[in-house]
Amino acid sequence: MGMIREIKAYVRSDCVSDVLRALRRVGGSRFYLSHVHAVGAGIDPDELRISLEEGSSYMEKVKLEILCEAEQAEALVEAIRDTACTGHRGDGVVVVGTVEETVNIRTGDRDDLALL
């Protein structure tokens, strides 16, 4: 059984479609998207918004989560970076971690079989 990696990428909202296309080109197939607010360091001053509820400035981002086999991780990370990079503050960050266990809810399959 192969190792499973979890990739979390926090990217600008306006580049998500391009990032997803790039990920599919390099073999990515299982993605999860969430809208998030980036607060603190790493916010593009040209895109910052003020939130009365949060009591601070923020930037809209998309959190992209990917489960993949370890061998795919580097290609997926590079596809994200190559596509999401504008060269400006606020481009985002990619985090890669090892997954201890994966279970497919429908089939009960585990680890790399759970991703099929």
DSSP per-residue string spanning 9-55:
EEEEGGGHHHHHHHHHHTT---EEEEEEEE-STT--TTS-EEETTTT
Q: What is the CATH number of domain 4-33+64-115?
A: 3.30.70.120
Domain regions of the chain by residue span: 4-33+64-115
**pTM of the predicted structure, to 2 decimals:** 0.86
Q: What is the pLDDT of residues 22-81, one digit of tens each?
A: 999 999 988 999 999 887 777 777 787 777 676 678 888 999 999 999 999 999 999 999
Can you give the pLDDT at residue 54? 65
